[in-house]
Each structure stands twice: as structure tokens, then as C-alpha cells.
Structure 1
């Protein structure tokens, strides 16, 4: 059996012997939305738990948060549709009254070439575009959430009279799902806000697919309310990055509706865990860097038996992707040392990614097929797979009996549960 998997901007094909029991753990297919303009107008004609734009007083200024290029959100297609509707609803609104904030959380702020990759030329030419910088941008203060998270949001976004967020609704390894106000609460927030929110990730309900009772997700919702994010436009994409759901409305109502569809696409039930899991992050931009690829490794581990083997396909064309993480992880040579440091010093951004990697590395044998240099991966406590087919063959040859192999083509988004309970207890 040959299976072709996405890898960066290309593909990798692996061959599996007949004696192996191979299951391809794919997302569920749903009908694709063919006419995005019609879908956008339909969603804005019937916004969830909000009046239509045309029924509201015209705002003097509007800010719109959109994701950076590490997300697959079709900004070039959807942002112009939203802008067109805003100008139609508010005829006096001028382009200079609208600010587009490209929210990437702690990712480095986008330079001009990156902005040109994600935004239409007309938008860049006519509207104010602000690449978010979590460490240096002017911030507006909103106090603290009930869980103590300081709420500091990019001033360019926060000072507008009407605040809108656009984004992808995807499974998230500890926030449950992305979407809703997250594109602002994390995408356009300060490093302190992100750090405090992410420190909630150790809760037992802070895991993919869990929305209710998840403190990370509930904290994000509260941030959105405090900031006054009024309108969310979210989409769910299928495995081929085609839109299968589009919603507009009050952010938490959009999250509730969209997460049901997202779960039906990316939540996969398995009978029992696998001896070997072969996981592709899903290609670019899901495997744009190691920092992003970690999500695929974490979710794929939920399908593996404890002590099992995971082959991760992640091109990582932009390398490690986060200097704080790399500087931290280079200090250690074993997951146990990372755990000990966390026990002593607590949560820190960047370091948390090393902790998440370590939880997987402590339980599973992991090899990474990547464009990254083996020495750099080694400093991240990861082993380069070399030729992925050869690594897979060596694992299969070393195992007795009929080996069960799970192949995950979209590991950054697919999450697993057993037919009766959790896969492995790795929360």
C-alpha cells in the first residue's frame, strides 16, 4: 500500500507492507462551500446573537484582526468580502477609518513580503495595516480576567469603535478549539497576556476538542468580552483547506456553532491505539516551523500506544520558529530535566513548548522527517529520521507479529478518542 502525505509545499509517498495493519485516520469530508461571497453575505445577513450590521449605528472607526501566515485562513478571499459589506452597510466609512491588525501572538511581526503573501494588494494600498508585535506594540489595558490573566491588547485594534476578528476554527491542543475571540485574545495581545493564559494548560480539561470547562478557552472568551470584540467571522476548513462552514456573529455564539462542525470533521474515534503512528502535520503552513509542528506531534501521540513510535513529517522550512523556545530547550538533554526545571521555576512562554515536546518524548520514540539540520533537531531533543521510508521499514522489521500502524494525514488538526474513553491519558 502506498500513501502520499503532505510535506511543506510538496508531498512524500510511503509504502506499507501487506503484513502491517494500516489505518488512515482522516478527517470526515463535508460539502464544500462553493460561493464564498454568497456564504459571507448569508452569514452577515443572519449573524448569530447579533443584529445585522445595517441595523447598528455606523461606527466612526473599525478594527479587524486577521491571522498571520502560520494559519490557513483564506484572508485574501474573505477579507475583501467583509470590507465590501462594511462599506455597503456604512456608506460614510472610508478606508482610512479601518485598521487591519495582523495578529500572530508571539510570532515575529510580519514584514512587507509576508504581508503581501496574506493580504490583497488593494487592502495593503488603501487601508492601515498593522503587524502585531506582542513584545513592543503600544497596548491598551483592560484589567485582569477572573483567573488573573492581565488583558493588554494592541492599541491599534483596541481603540476602534467597532472591533471584529476573523479566523480559523480548528482543534487546539490545550484551548480545545481556536476561533471566537482567540485571534484577538492571543493574536493581538501582549506577551504577558499570552503567558498567563497559556499557563492554564495543565488543567485536565485543557485539551483538544474540549470547550466546556476548559479554563484556557473560557479565559479567552472572557478576554474577548472585556476587550469588546463584537463580531467574529470564523471558518472551518476541510483537509484540503476548502471551506465547509462559515459563521458570523457574537464570538462565543460563533465558537459554539462552529466547534460542533469542527469536531464532526476532525474528531476521530479509534478502536485502540497503534504501535506506530505516521503523522503529517498537513503541509504548509501547518509545518512552517518546528514550533508549529509540535501541535501535530502532540495530537498524533494520542493515537499511539505508550512506548509506541511516531514518525513526524514536518518540513519546517522556517526552522525552529521561536528563539525563546530554542534558547531554552538547548539547555537540556532529556525530558526529565525539562520537567524538573518546570517544577522549580513554573510556566514560561517558549519554555512551555519544550515542556509540551518533552511530554511526548518521555513516553514515545519519535523521529522527525524534516528539512532542518540534524544537529539543530538534536539540540531540541529530537532525532532526525533521515529517509522516512527507511526509518519506517526499520521499525516494522524490528517488531514481531502483525504491526498496527495509524497514518494521520492532518496531524495538526486531527484529535482522537477511543471508542470507550480517552486514548492514553496523556492530557
Structure 2
């Protein structure tokens, strides 16, 4: 049986697996409903007035937008919004862009141009820096997590533009997640993620959890007036858009996204093959694929992760070295944190929990292969040879073409 997995934009890798060993997901009898277009969702938002009506009376407008590690159609959205504003006589001069880098590195000039096109030069842009505590505004505390957010968020109209996909720490992305962790202080990001792994029911695809409560509360406190969120089909194409109130619109978006991405399996498999696409920037980002494949892989089984890993371990060098430690060792250090990059401990703990139950095999052409090999995370150039080595007779295999897929184990006959 032949499979095709996403690798990079416009590039896929092929894989052959004996049909008798493949566990395929059940096909839902309920077809996913057609989604609203960007124009429709903005003009008929959920739980609030149309965006142009809100913008007419606003003297200042800030759009919080994703950075280079995310892939929503921001440029197309900004193009449409400017045209809508111009048609209503709303000046674009009062618009600024606040880039939700979270704790990621700053975007390079060429990345700004690629992501935002002409807006990179004719619209005021602020790149969030989580470490700049002097530029954060305090909005109190919730669930023992301080809510400190970039002061640039303050405007008469604040709009978040992002995506709704399954997520390990918040269950689903989208909504006010563009604010926390997107434009929050390092302390807020660290303590919220620490809470998510130690005290929350959060997991991939689990919407009701404490981290989501914190995110929604943050959106309300800072005055997130409107969201524009995209959701995707199983192939990574935009399936629809929701817009409006950051809580109500998100809930509708998650409902629609779940219908697109959910795949039910009758059992866990010995071997899971998954592509981390579209999260391919670095190992920090492609951890999404590990969390997803963990849901469907037997303990003691194998995960084959395909990822281009363009920037290796990324801009958290401590994260890589922590993966040498056992889960309990990381947790001990996490409880008495004094390090310069505590968030690296949280991410390493989450990844290590997977590595201690499953064996991970990386397939990539990354130039950072030696760094992974040093940690025992061997990088293989060819997916077929890896899978052929693992699937001895009697072993079952599942194949997830990208990390957007939401696998769910069910004992029901479907």
C-alpha cells in the first residue's frame, strides 16, 4: 500500500507498506460541512458586530499576527482587510501589526517580506520580544499564572489573526492563544506551560482544559475584540474561516476543525509514521508530531517522524541538552527552576515523556543531523529503509500524512 507524506511546501515523500499490516482509520459517515469564506466570516461574525463597523469608530487598530513558524494566510487576509477598509473610507494609517513571536526568535527582513509582502514596508510592525519585561502591561493573575502582555496590544480595536489546529498544551490553538503565549512575557509563557503539563487536563485535541481557560481569560482581560481564525482539511488546505468573539467564534471553529481532522482508529499500532508538516522549522516546533503520534502508538512502539528540521533544534539550545536527562530528572529541576531558559525545561519534559515510552526515528535531510545523532536521535535520509527495518511480520502500522491529523482510539465498531 502506497502512502504520500507532506515534507515541505510542494514536496512529499513516498512510502510503501504491506497492506496486511496497515491499520487504516474509519471514514466518518458525516461529511464535513462547507466552511465560510474569509469575506463571509468577517461580514457575518459570531458574537459581535462586523469588523468594518468596529473599525470605523476606532482611532487605533492593532492586528496580532503569526510569525514565520505558523502558516495561516496572513498576507491574503491583510490584502482583503485593506480593501474592505478603503471601501468604507477607513484609513489604513491607523493600523499596526504586532507579530506574535511568543518565545521564538525575531523574524529576519526577508522573512517579513515573504510573510507580509508590501505590508512589511508600508505598515507599522512591532515584533514581540518576550524578554522585554519593561514593555509588558500587567493584567493581574489567573490560575496562579501572571498575565503580562506586550503594551503594543493596546488599541481602540484589537484583532487576532491565526489558525485552529490540534495542540498539546492548549488542546487546540486559535482564539486568544495569539495573545498568550503569542505576545505575553516570558514569565507568563513559562508559568502557563508549566501549569499545562503539571496541573491541566490539556492534551492534543482536548478542548476543555485549564490552559484554555487561562487563554480565554487573558483575551477578555486585555480586550481582544475580534478574531479571524482559519481551520484546515486533512491535506492542509484552508477548509473555512470563523470570525468574531474570541471565545464564541473559536468554539465554533474547533467544532468545524474537528470534523475535518478527526480520524478514529480501532487500536494503537506498533509503528506510527508521521510527518511534522506544517511544523518543520525546528525540533521544538515539530514536537507537535510526537505528541500526536503518541496518542496512537503502543507503549514500547516506534515513531517514525518525517521533518525537514530547517533550523535543527532551533533557538532554545538548552532544550537539546535537556533531552539527555530522564523525565523525573527534568521534573526535579523544573520544580526548583533557576535557569536562564525555564521554558526549555517544560518543552523537554513534554518531549521526554514521549521518548521514554516510544522509540523515535527521524527521517530528514537536515544539515543538523550530527546534533541529533549526538543525542541518540538518529537522523535517517530514507524513510523506506527505516520502515522496512521496523515492520517485521505481525507488527501493525499507521501512517499520518501530517501533524494536522487528530487520531482517536475507539473500541466501537465504526
Do the structures match in fold with TM over 0.5?
yes
User: Is 2:2 the partner of 1:2?
Assistant: yes
Aligned partner of 2:239 among 222, 225, 244? 244
- 1:172-187 equivalences under 5 Å are 172-187=167-182
Q: What SS does the aligned partner of 2:255 have? A: helix
Q: What SS does the aligned partner of 1:199 have? A: helix
Residue in 1 aligned with 2:203?
207
Residue in 2 aligned with 1:135?
131
* Displacement of 1:71: 1.0
Residue in 2 aligned with 1:414?
405
* Displacement of 1:100: 0.7
CA 1:80/1:26 → structure 2, altered by over 3 Å: closer, same or farther? farther
* Displacement of 1:333: 4.8
* Displacement of 1:95: 2.9
Residue in 1 aligned with 2:24?
23
- 1:354-365 equivalences under 5 Å are 354-365=348-359
Aligned partner of 1:311 among 281, 284, 304? 304
Once residues 107 and 306 of structure 2 are traced to their aligned partners in structure 1, the CA distance between those partners, rounded to angstroms, is 26
Q: What SS does the aligned partner of 2:40 have? A: helix
Residue in 1 aligned with 2:75?
76
Give the paired residue count.
Answer: 405
Aligned partner of 1:254 among 242, 249, 253? 249
CA 1:394/1:29 → structure 2, altered by over 3 Å: closer, same or farther? farther
Q: Runs of 5+ in structure 2 lacking a partner? A: none
Residue in 1 aligned with 2:96?
99
CA 1:205/1:188 → structure 2, altered by over 3 Å: closer, same or farther? same
User: Is 2:350 the partner of 1:352?
Assistant: no
- Over residues 272-322 of structure 1, what are the superposed CA-to-partner deviations in whole Å (9 max), with x where a residue is unaligned? 10011011112xx41121111111011111111111111110110121113
Contact 2:69 2:279 in 1 (8 A): yes
Contact 1:142 1:152 in 2 (8 A): yes
* Displacement of 1:179: 0.8
Q: What SS does the aligned partner of 1:251 have? A: coil
- Over residues 162-205 of structure 1, what are the superposed CA-to-partner deviations in whole Å (9 max), with x where a residue is unaligned? 11111001111120111111112211111111112111212352
Once residues 224 and 262 of structure 1 are traced to their aligned partners in structure 2, the CA distance between those partners, rounded to angstroms, is 21
Once residues 27 and 313 of structure 2 are traced to their aligned partners in structure 1, the CA distance between those partners, rounded to angstroms, is 27
Aligned partner of 2:117 among 120, 138, 156? 120
Residue in 2 aligned with 1:371?
365
CA 1:192/1:309 → structure 2, altered by over 3 Å: closer, same or farther? same
Once residues 126 and 49 of structure 2 are traced to their aligned partners in structure 1, the CA distance between those partners, rounded to angstroms, is 28
Aligned partner of 2:273 among 278, 291, 295? 278
* Displacement of 1:335: 4.3
Once residues 407 and 188 of structure 2 are traced to their aligned partners in structure 1, the CA distance between those partners, rounded to angstroms, is 29
CA 1:415/1:113 → structure 2, altered by over 3 Å: closer, same or farther? same
* Displacement of 1:24: 6.3
User: Is 2:286 the partner of 1:289?
Assistant: no
- Over residues 57-102 of structure 1, what are the superposed CA-to-partner deviations in whole Å (9 max), with x where a residue is unaligned? 611100001101211101111121123323444x2x4333110112
Cα RMSD after superposing both structures: 2.6
- Over residues 209-236 of structure 1, what are the superposed CA-to-partner deviations in whole Å (9 max), with x where a residue is unaligned? 2222x01111000111111010001110
CA 1:138/1:95 → structure 2, altered by over 3 Å: closer, same or farther? farther
Aligned partner of 2:384 among 374, 377, 389? 389
Output the TM-score relative to the length of structure 1.
0.87
CA 1:54/1:21 → structure 2, altered by over 3 Å: closer, same or farther? closer
Output the TM-score relative to the length of structure 2.
0.90
Runs of 4+ with deviation above 4 angstroms = 24-33, 54-57, 333-336, 343-347
CA 1:204/1:300 → structure 2, altered by over 3 Å: closer, same or farther? same
Contact 1:31 1:244 in 2 (8 A): no
Once residues 84 and 342 of structure 1 are traced to their aligned partners in structure 2, the CA distance between those partners, rounded to angstroms, is 49
Residue in 1 aligned with 2:189?
194
Once residues 125 and 318 of structure 2 are traced to their aligned partners in structure 1, the CA distance between those partners, rounded to angstroms, is 28
Once residues 29 and 104 of structure 1 are traced to their aligned partners in structure 2, the CA distance between those partners, rounded to angstroms, is 35
- 1:36-55 equivalences under 5 Å are 39-55=37-53
Contact 1:279 1:312 in 2 (8 A): yes
Q: What SS does the aligned partner of 1:205 have? A: coil
